Chain A
């Protein structure tokens, strides 16, 4: 069929802007002058890295506001862990649940928070599949600020989880001898480590193709890392080869540091190791993440 399209479509010039073939005025769209005015005009100066990171952090807050169910993992889940481990193992491992709670609480707090860091990778992966990351990547902003934004939003979740666990612990009889200062110091160190460690997840979120793959890999990393540590039991009860691993695990150092701070001591060596591991995680996985982000 050879049919000539559109009446009078042969105009040679200005066809792109001409009124030819004007569509029926859209009922929902306002006059075009309005849209035109939105395009013209001055652009604001380029914002700095802090501003854009905070803007992405604000986005994470909004997501929590709109989908509050996602807070289940930082509220009910940690409380469940405290209750389960205390009453399940307390009698067997420390003679009484009360004594075990004193040993366990800082460790279970570390475990829970480090475990929930893995949701960051899933969030990154979901954004890729939804296409919203393309929008962010095409903006003239400091590139890591997208990732920093995720992590800033997650900080709030980690604080919430820590507070929940401390609260239930205090109700159950946990007494931190380091007082408020020690507890705040311990939580601060935990947050810093989590922020740095999370670059591992942002990397996996970008690297792996599906959310399921991200979950599978994250589990395979997080379970050995958190359980093969001094969170639940003293390492001296373990076989020698395992002690070698456990005593040098970043989680053991972090757990000892947090435990020390909440108990009112200053475990300088463990704090030092924790800071060192934190730096290492950022320096290794940060650049890999950003490279993958640029190449995606």
Chain B
């Protein structure tokens, strides 16, 4: 596993214990491939931030190994720093300086000459829609502007791997969309992005591979499709015209679908979780719809959906650590 060939990040047996014996990261093994967005999904306090800070050389691991582009984060921290950048949960900016000065400073520190640093700062400000605000002190920025500047600051170095720690937490929907657009633009150029989030929706939209972590451990890892398949192929949702026909409809669905039919709180709604593979699901659903019509049951709406990551998360935390914790754990 620790071959260093091609993978952006290779983590083996990573452990971090804080004072008081809190195991913030507890034996994590992961491989993040080069390119695309890798999502690290977990509730508050799962250990996401600690994990990312170790990968970005800001924290030392207590056990295990981490290689970033084949370089060890402890033995060759400097080599790792040359290729990665981190935008943390809270802006790492100098509030007293202007937006432009923050970026020029980083440019100078990264080896751009005075003029080069100013040009790069101006280009970044323009790219992030901050040209007008560039001359103002950061302390006057809105939350969304601050986050954009913080991401721009991470790009001054042209990193090969960008860590984004909960990049949209606390942002309004429009600012959140901006951040997503930026992430897509950065990834399109071949930069790998490792993004932590507590929003299933965000991981679903951006990431191609996802690790689900809880209490410092990886409880599931894979492509989105794999994760969803692990809880079944999807669900059929049916809304009936007449609540009185629900039991009859449930009987029909049970007969022609290989799944479990649930009666929702809504007296006209039924949901069937499908167990089989993805391709077969559509065929099954079509059959089910035809059978309902043949039985003379009026259907108001009928839909087939992939399982959401919400369902994945609930299923994983249910299986892994008992139903008592599932309820309060999903941070959406």
Contact = CB atoms under 8 A, between A and B. Distances in A.
B126 A29 contact: no
Given A12-B225, A51-B108, A39 B155 contact: yes
Contacts of B148: 29
B181 A30 contact: no
A2 B271 contact: yes
Interface stretch (B15-23, B93-101, B240-248, B285-293): B93-101
Contact of A5 (B178, B204, B278): B204
B187 A30 contact: no
Contacts of A295: 60
Contact of A6 (B153, B155, B204, B223): B204
A132 interface: yes
Given A3-B308, A4-B305, A134 B58 contact: yes
A216 interface: no
Given A6-B204, A26-B129, A43 B57 contact: no
Contact of A35 (B86, B182, B193, B310): B182
Given A45-B111, A132-B93, A140-B82, A26 B190 contact: no
A240 interface: no
Contacts of B191: 39
Contact of B56 (A35, A40, A44, A138): A138
A173 B123 CA distance: 56
A131 B90 contact: yes
Contacts, number: 207
Nearest to B205: A21
A66 B225 contact: no
Interface in A103-144: 127, 130-141
A296 B204 CA distance: 34
Contacts of A188: none
Given A35-B127, A135-B153, A12 B223 contact: yes
A35 B95 CA distance: 24
Given A30-B129, A132-B92, A44 B237 contact: no
Interface in A49-68: 51-52, 55-56, 58-59, 62-63, 66-67
A66 B137 contact: yes
A30 B93 contact: no
Given A9-B205, A16-B187, A32 B181 contact: yes
B60 A6 contact: no
A249 B100 CA distance: 46
Given A63-B96, A66-B97, A138-B56, A43 B157 contact: yes
A59 B36 contact: no
A62 B97 contact: yes
Interface string B72-86: 000000110110111
A23 B155 contact: no
A133 B92 CA distance: 7
A139 B91 contact: no
Contacts of B318: none
Contacts of B37: 16-17
Interface string B258-282: 0000101000000100000010000
A10 B228 contact: yes
B251 to A, nearest CB: 21
B271 A29 contact: no
B4 interface: no
A15 B88 contact: no
A288 B88 CA distance: 26
Interface size class of B (residues with CB under 8 A): 35 or more
Contact of A34 (B112, B127, B158, B159): B127
Interface in B172-205: 174, 177-178, 180-182, 184-191, 193, 200-201, 204-205
B181 A23 contact: yes
B257 to A, nearest CB: 15
Contacts of B101: 59, 62
B94 A47 contact: no
Contacts of A40: 158, 189-190
B201 A5 contact: yes
Among A37, A59, A67, max chain B CB count under 10 A is at: A59
Contacts of B187: 16-17
B237 to A, nearest CB: 7
A43 B193 CA distance: 19
Nearest to A48: B111
Contacts of A140: 78-79, 81-82, 110
A95 interface: no
Among B124, B158, B237, max chain A CB count under 10 A is at: B158
23 contacts: A12-B225, A17-B187, A29-B182, A30-B126, A34-B126, A34-B127, A35-B155, A38-B158, A43-B82, A43-B157, A44-B111, A52-B108, A55-B105, A56-B109, A62-B105, A66-B97, A127-B94, A130-B95, A131-B91, A134-B88, A140-B78, A140-B81, A141-B109
Interface of B: 36-37, 56-58, 60, 78-79, 81-82, 84-86, 88, 90-98, 101, 105-106, 108-113, 116, 120, 123-124, 126-130, 137, 148, 153, 155, 157-159, 174, 177-178, 180-182, 184-191, 193, 200-201, 204-208, 223-225, 228, 234-235, 237, 262, 264, 271, 278, 303, 305-311
Given A2-B237, A16-B36, A39-B155, 6 more contacts: A2-B235, A16-B193, A26-B174, A39-B186, A66-B137, A140-B79
Interface of A: 2-6, 9-10, 12-17, 20-21, 23-26, 28-30, 32-47, 51-52, 55-56, 58-59, 62-63, 66-67, 127, 130-141, 295
